[in-house]
Amino acid sequence: MAEKLKYKRILLKLSGESLMGNKGHGIDPEVLNFFAAEIKKVHDLNVQVGIVIGGGNIYRGLSASDQGIDRVTGDQMGMLATVINSLALQNALEKAGIYTRLTTAISMDEIAEPYIRRRAIRHFEKGRIVIFGAGTGHPYFSTDTAASLRAIEVEADAILKGTRVDGVYSSDPEKNPDAEMFDKISYLNVLQDNLRVMDMTAISLCKENNLPIIVFNMNQEDNLKKIVLGENIGTFVSDI
């Protein structure tokens, strides 16, 4: 008997920093292969998976001004960093036996397809995992915003934001052991309390389009699979 899915099409948002593992920068192959194995588990359930991954393990546009680089150039460098991570994840997924497509918001025809909404949806329908690289293609927009935008465009059922903590807390649980974790929280409370689930633009986009966000620990084995099967893992962000 086939397992009943709660979410049939998801947008998985991963940070670039998550790929570092215990390293100070770059990509840890063990983390990459672990993520690919976890994603394969939901793909094998016939869940349609889109992925947006950040570039912070390689370069953060927001830190550009500290290095004497203007913000636009810094953000463009950050967008290219997301493509490096996207290629690495694509390679790991294909080694796991999954067909993928890498699409980018910046034209780079030799290594990726241009992002075209209808084509991306067709890839989903054919069982391919679609990785959305290069953010929105514009400076001043984060990969959180890119994830929200792509999820809305391809009509995903939810954004699943994989982090290294179990969900959304009242304060940073890595600094405050008394921080309270929320099972559910509204978009409005996230914005009002500045809880840094995603940036304000991303949260506002999700709120306006009633797109739920699930924040969960991606490093915990089977969490991703449990979520698509309807288990209450992490924090559910919605209008409530």
Total structural domains within the chain = 1
What is the phi/psi pair of residue 101, to 5°?
A: -135, 130
Low-confidence ranges of the chain (pLDDT < 50): 1
Is 57 a member of any domain? yes
pLDDT at 65: 65
Long-range interactions of 28-35: CB distance < 8 A, separation 24+:
32/88, 32/89, 32/92, 33/92, 33/95, 33/96, 34/219, 35/89, 35/92, 35/162, 35/218
Q: What distance in Å separates the CA atoms of residue 132 and residue 114, rounded to the nearest whole number? A: 10
pLDDT at 227: 98
Secondary structure class of 219 (helix, strand, coil): coil
pLDDT at 222: 97
Is 3 a member of any domain? no
Is 88 a member of any domain? yes
Rg (CA), the chain: 17
Is the torsion defined by CA of 194, 198, 203, 206 positive or negative?
negative
pLDDT at 64: 66
pLDDT at 171: 87
pLDDT at 96: 96
Is 140 a member of any domain? yes
Is 4 a member of any domain? no
Domain residue limits at 129 = 9-238
Is 212 a member of any domain? yes
CATH of the domain at 42: 3.40.1160.10
pLDDT at 1: 41
Is 192 a member of any domain? yes
Q: What distance in Å separates the CA atoms of residue 222 and residue 197, rounded to the nearest whole number? A: 22
Closest CA to 161 of 6, 11, 7: 11
Contact 148, 62 (CB under 8 A): no
> What are 62-109's pLDDT values in tens digits?
666 677 889 899 999 999 999 999 999 999 999 999 999 999 999 999
